[in-house]
């Protein structure tokens, strides 16, 4: 059997931890009751569900009653954004704000709101991916009901100053939804201290099972989210259907482990990122780190290798599994909407890949990645007429005009 490449795509998903799997297994075959059944099987399931909710709430310093289990961040974001924005529009706050560099799931919500007559505005980000606070201050007013922002960008790892954003929102009576998909379990989160109104997260980004996530909501905002005529005994009347206890147990265990290992993980991943960037910068010219150097999560590194096409570079590196920041179509040059929104020059944006480091990543893995990336870049540049034009000092911007996509996941 052919051996698999080294996995360096942990921002996309993570393997389920063995400890998480062990915690889940009894709830597949032994404690399989419905948590709302009034017998011993139901009581055991409810006890497990309550524990899982407590564990997740503890990780973000929330009240367990403010946690609703969902199928993942996408559903959580859709519930929070669409229901809250529509409710608030009836009070006169008819505007929704997000950024052009959000995840596709949030941008899809924005499109859905537009179709329902809600005014959508896109907040500018600077070249480093951080929010333009002057622009934010200029567009926040009494007409805005909700702002949605990604805490840590899934493509670049840029970490927004959520507390400062919340402060500006509060001055204008605006609610804030935080997409914490890449932040949950990776950095310390305190929803009380930050002042967040809604927060979305998924288990599979933190070594939990796929198919489960959470939506945090302030108790005072519950009325904005409830389904009319829903059973309020099931997930606060916010999400219908039988709760997947087994998956919730897995997310609770993943949250517990993340809380205990977060500090050590951050320190180790930071060292591996430093090794990666220093080694590549020493061996190759015309490489660029996309996103803020000062405010980022070290486990996500977006690098452009000018003169190389992102997908070609990704495929040339046979021993590592990474993602292309410009993956949109396979038959033409394309640019990530995230990098495009940051104003990254097209030829640099088009040559980007995302490397994401996780718990299992070793120094040996990074050294192999460095070898492959150097060799692949050197080979592709030798064959690239664009690289020859760059070295000759020619303006190649026109080659990439109009070559972009709306979204890149």
**Beta strands 323-324; 352-356: pairing state:** antiparallel
Rounded CA separation 155/302 (Å) = 7
Name the phi and psi angles at 333, rounded to 5. -65, 140
Rounded CA separation 149/159 (Å) = 10
Cβ contact 118:94 at 8 Å: yes
Cβ contact 267:276 at 8 Å: no
Residue 328 among the catalytic residues: yes
Matching residue, tokens 């790892």: 157
Question: In sequence order, what E strands does 9-103 have?
Answer: 67-70, 95-99
**Beta strands 320-321; 6-7: pairing state:** parallel
Tokens standing for residue 43: 């009581």
User: CA angle 8-9-12, nearest 5°?
Assistant: 165
Radius of gyration of the chain (CA): 22
The single residue of 109, 150, 169, 328 carrying the catalytic annotation is 328
Beta partners for residue 158, in sequence order: 296
Cβ contact 199:59 at 8 Å: no
Rounded CA separation 371/63 (Å) = 47
Backbone CA torsion sign across 167, 171, 172, 173:
positive
**CA 270 to each of CA 266, 292, 388: distance values in angstroms, whole numbers, following the listed order:** 6, 15, 35
Q: Catalytic positions, please?
A: 328
């Amino acid at each position: 059997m052919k051996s698999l490449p080294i996995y360096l795509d942990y921002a996309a998903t993570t393997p389920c931890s063995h400890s998480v799997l062990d915690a889940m297994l009894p709830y597949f075959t032994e404690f399989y009751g419905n948590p709302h059944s009034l017998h011993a099987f139901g009581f055991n399931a409810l006890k497990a569900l309550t524990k899982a909710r407590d564990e997740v709430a503890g990780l973000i310093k929330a009240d367990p009653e403010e946690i609703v289990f969902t199928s993942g961040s996408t559903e959580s974001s859709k519930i929070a954004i669409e229901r809250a924005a529509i409710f608030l529009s009836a009070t006169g706050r008819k505007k929704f704000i997000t950024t052009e560099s959000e995840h596709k799931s949030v941008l899809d919500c924005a499109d859905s709101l537009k179709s329902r007559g809600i005014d959508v505005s896109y907040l500018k980000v600077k070249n480093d991916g951080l929010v333009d606070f002057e622009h934010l201050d200029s567009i926040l007013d009494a007409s805005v009901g909700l702002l949605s922002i990604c805490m840590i960008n899934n493509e670049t790892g840029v970490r927004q100053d959520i507390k400062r954003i919340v402060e500006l929102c509060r001055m204008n009576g605006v609610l804030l939804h935080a997409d914490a998909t890449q932040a949950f379990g990776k950095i310390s989160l305190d929803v009380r201290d930050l002042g967040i109104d809604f927060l979305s997260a998924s288990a599979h980004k933190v070594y939990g099972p796929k198919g489960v996530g959470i939506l945090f909501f302030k108790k005072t905002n519950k009325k904005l989210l409830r389904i009319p005529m829903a059973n309020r005994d099931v997930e606060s009347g916010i999400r219908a259907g039988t709760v997947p206890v087994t998956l919730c147990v897995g997310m609770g265990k993943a949250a517990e482990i993340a809380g205990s290992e977060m500090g050590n993980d951050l320190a180790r991943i930071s060292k591996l990122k430093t090794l990666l960037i220093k080694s590549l910068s020493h061996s190759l010219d015309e490489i660029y780190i996309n996103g803020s150097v000062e405010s980022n999560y070290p486990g996500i590194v977006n690098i452009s290798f000018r003169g190389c096409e992102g997908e070609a570079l990704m495929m040339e590196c046979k021993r590592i599994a990474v993602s292309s920041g410009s993956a949109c179509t396979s038959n033409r040059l394309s640019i990530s909407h995230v990098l495009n929104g940051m104003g990254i020059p097209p030829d640099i944006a088009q040559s980007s890949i995302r490397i994401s480091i996780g718990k299992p990543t070793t120094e040996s893995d990074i050294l192999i990645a460095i070898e492959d990336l150097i060799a692949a870049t050197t080979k592709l540049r030798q064959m690239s007429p664009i690289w020859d034009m760059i070295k000759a000092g020619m303006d190649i911007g026109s080659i990439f005009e109009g070559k972009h996509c709306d979204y890149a996941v």
